[in-house]
Amino acid sequence: MQKTPYRYVPYLSEMIRFTRRQIDTLRFYGKDLYCPVCTKSWSKLKPQGVCPHCRSGTRHKSLVIWLSTYLEKNDRSLEALLFSPDPGVEKWLRRQTNISLTTTDYSAPKVDHHWDITDIPMSDASYDLILCSHVLEHVPNDAKAFSELARILRPDGVLIIQVPYARDCSHTDEDSSITDPTERTCRFGQFDHVRRYGRDIVNRMEEKGLLTKVITVDSFISSDEMAYFDMWNDVIFISQRYDEGRKDPCLTNN
């Protein structure tokens, strides 16, 4: 059976999600595990380490944990752009006093703008911080998206990208001729994905002016913390605009 695109029904979808959260709050009540996104504790988490309250998984938790340290070291005011906002991450970002947040999605409701990531209607060097989590695997022309992200990023700004990533594969797997949702799911991991990235994603980004560092979760939190947050060793791509003389992004949390 083929999957259909996601549906959002005003009021009804929100009511269903609210009711589900209330039920899960009772089902998973406890203190054994912790979600760093919504700061709630649980007896256990949902499958794949998903928080019962804010629905954050490893990619959301790793983003928030890395950003927490980055923001501590960069306490200036930051203009931030968040693509395809997840509720937990968006709420966390809005709690940060030094971030002025703009949200965007191609079609989702309740965002500030419905922008196409390959044609962003903003001037050059508009943002200090750009967050793009699990978006680019949906975008047919990701080269143009990388160019646009580099263009609107300020010279000292930071771009954080997260994508489904096959770290054991040297090349990205993509084939624009595959349109069947079932075949896409088998090949790329989800019915609406157009590729599964391999290690060459770094080259693809750097060709568009984004100097990129690959960071694994275990490089900035301990194994005990990973277990307490119920996370796996995911990967984050941290980028800055390429400037003459810059050899490596100054982005480590060490």
* Residue 211, beta-bridge partner list: 240
Q: What's residue 9's pLDDT?
A: 67
Phi, psi at 21, each rounded to 5° = -65, -40
At 220 the three-state DSSP class reads: coil
DSSP state of 125: S
Q: What is the pTM of this model?
A: 0.88
Structure tokens at 72: 């501590």
C-alpha distances (whole Å) from 236 to each of 132, 142, 215, 219 are 11, 17, 5, 11
CB 210 within 8 A of CB 240: yes
Is residue 79 packed enough to be buried (19+ CB in 10 Å), middle (13-18) or exposed (0-12)? middle
d(CA 99, CA 253): 19
CA angle 118, 196, 121 (to 5 degrees): 10
Both tokens assigned to 133: 């989590």
Structure-block tokens of residue 250:
């100054």
The fourth-level CATH superfamily of domain 12-241 is Vaccinia Virus protein VP39 (3.40.50.150)
Residues of the chain with pLDDT below 70 are: 1-9, 11-13, 244-254
Please report, for the chain, the start and end positions of each structural domain, with discontinuous segments joined by +.
12-241
